[in-house]
């Protein structure tokens, strides 16, 4: 019969015990290196025409499309939560769309009316506007197509984007945010803004926007699901290749040279490595967009009981901040801020 094993307790001879800094909640709070603040968060909002009730976005629980009167109510709620900035995205009906996105340059189109209304009601709320043609084009691409329809005409698209940016600045946008990924659009927009007298309007460039599978719920929200591509063209001809970090950084730093005031990585979670590397290579503020698919997948898993919604939300936001984001666009912004208030 084998001899019994006798276990004796002994203390390891350790000088350094990292767990001491994790021992109590107070200690953990005092030594925490990264924090998310309400000042870091930007709330994206979808706006629709008319004065009817708000419309829910089926694939994004808790996210709504707001007619302008309801949008103002929502902005007031967001301000009361301590959030300082909103990003507005319009949803246009089919009657406002054509092959060349003509409606983008109509002086009284929905997005411009929404900006005017928000700035009139809340002058101190920072308003960010999307500079892109996909909400206005019947094919849903972010630019004007070439004559044969087989590609996006870069330079013709940039010309129209610059005109749209000026209209948005005129309406009162504080930051214009080109999200199209056309070459040279930041330089063209900066020159157009300056020539029109909007030298103080900042450019938040979607500097590294990837051709991602995480945009589906957003396309539902803005009514451009048909926009994912045509028989001959998809958005990979202008959005970044997910496999190319060096190319992404090159594009982002070109935007800095062209006059961007802030650089953004989109999506955030799947591209934390790009966010981290960009933070090391620029002195500009860096933003990250936690996109609709990131939001939707957390909600879906939580609804199945597989994840804790709030803990997962908070962990993902913390990881984005830790990777180097100075500011985060997230559909969780208002809920996070409300929970932060409840904790105090």
CATH number at residue 123: 3.20.20.70
pLDDT for residue 8: 60
- Residue 283 falls inside a structural domain: yes
Phi/psi for 320 (5° steps) reads -65, -45
Domain with 125, as residue range(s), is 36-226+237-343
| Residues that are catalytic | 209, 266
Kindly state whether residue 22 falls inside one of the protein's structural domains: no
The beta-carbon contacts of 165-168 under 8 Å, at least 24 apart in sequence, are 165/131, 165/189, 165/192, 165/193, 165/203, 166/192, 166/193, 166/196, 166/198, 167/105, 167/107, 167/112, 168/111, 168/112, 168/115, 168/129, 168/131
Q: Which of 229, 145, 129 is nearest to 179 (CA)?
A: 129
Position 137 in a domain: yes
The span from the CA of 161 to the CA of 188, in Å, is: 9
| Whole-number Å distance between alpha carbons of 322 and 10 | 38
CA–CA distances in Å: residue 2 to residues 5, 134, 290: 9, 77, 60
**Res 231: pLDDT:** 41
**Is 194 part of any domain?**
yes
Beta pairing partners, 250: none
* C-beta atoms surrounding 300 within 10 Å: 13
Total tally of structural domains belonging to the chain: 1
Q: Among 35, 122, 47, 113, which residue's Cα sits nearest to residue 79?
A: 122
Per-residue pLDDT of the chain (344 residues; tens, 9 = 90+): 666 666 666 789 999 999 999 999 999 999 999 999 999 999 999 999 988 899 999 999 999 999 999 999 999 999 999 999 999 999 998 899 999 999 999 999 999 999 999 999 999 999 999 999 999 999 889 999 998 888 899 999 999 999 999 999 999 999 999 999 999 999 999 999 999 999 999 999 999 999 999 998 888 888 765 544 454 568 999 999 999 999 999 999 999 999 999 999 999 999 999 999 999 999 999 999 999 999 999 999 999 999 999 999 999 999 999 999 999 999 999 999 999 999 98
In a domain, 20, yes or no: no
Judge whether 105 lies within some domain. yes
Any bridge partners for residue 209, and if so which? 266
Q: pTM here?
A: 0.93
Treating both helix axes as pointing N-terminal to C-terminal, what angle do 154-171 and 185-195 enclose, rounded to 10 degrees?
Answer: 40
Largest CA distance in the chain: 94
Q: What local confidence, expressed as pLDDT, does residue 175 receive? A: 98
Domain contains 66: yes
Q: Identify whether 231 is part of a domain.
A: no
């Amino acid at each position: 019969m084998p001899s019994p094993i006798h276990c004796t307790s002994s203390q390891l001879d350790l000088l350094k015990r990292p767990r001491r800094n994790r021992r109590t909640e107070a200690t953990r709070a005092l030594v925490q290196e990264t924090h998310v603040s309400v000042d870091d968060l930007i709330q994206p909002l979808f706006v629709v025409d008319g004065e009817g009730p708000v419309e829910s976005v089926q694939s994004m629980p808790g996210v709504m499309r707001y007619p302008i009167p309801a949008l103002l109510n929502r902005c007031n709620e967001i301000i009361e939560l301590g959030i300082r900035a909103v990003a507005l995205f319009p949803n246009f009906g089919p009657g406002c769309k054509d092959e060349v996105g003509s409606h983008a340059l109509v002086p009284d189109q929905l997005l411009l009316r929404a900006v005017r209304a928000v700035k009139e009601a809340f002058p101190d709320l920072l308003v960010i506007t999307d500079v892109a043609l996909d909400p206005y084009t019947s094919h849903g691409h972010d630019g004007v197509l070439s004559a044969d329809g087989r590609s996006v005409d870069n330079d013709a698209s940039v010309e129209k984007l610059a005109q749209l940016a000026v209209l948005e600045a005129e309406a009162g946008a504080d930051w214009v945010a080109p999200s199209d990924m056309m070459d040279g659009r930041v330089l063209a927009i900066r020159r157009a803004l300056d020539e029109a007298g909007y030298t103080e309007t900042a450019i938040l460039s979607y500097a590294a926007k990837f051709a991602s599978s995480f945009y589906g719920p957003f396309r539902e929200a803005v009514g451009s699901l048909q926009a994912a591509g045509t028989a001959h063209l998809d958005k990979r001809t202008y959005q970044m290749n997910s496999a190319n970090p060096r190319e992404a950084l090159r594009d982002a730093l070109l935007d800095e040279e062209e006059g961007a005031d802030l650089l953004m990585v989109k999506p955030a979670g799947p591209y934390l490595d790009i966010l981290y590397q960009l933070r090391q290579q620029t002195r500009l503020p860096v933003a990250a967009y936690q996109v609709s698919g990131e939001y939707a997948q957390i909600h879906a898993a939580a609804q199945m009981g597989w994840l804790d919604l709030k803990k997962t939300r908070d962990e993902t936001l913390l990881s984005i901040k830790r990777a180097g984001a100075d500011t985060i666009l997230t559909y969780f912004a208002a809920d996070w801020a409300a929970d932060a208030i409840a904790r105090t």
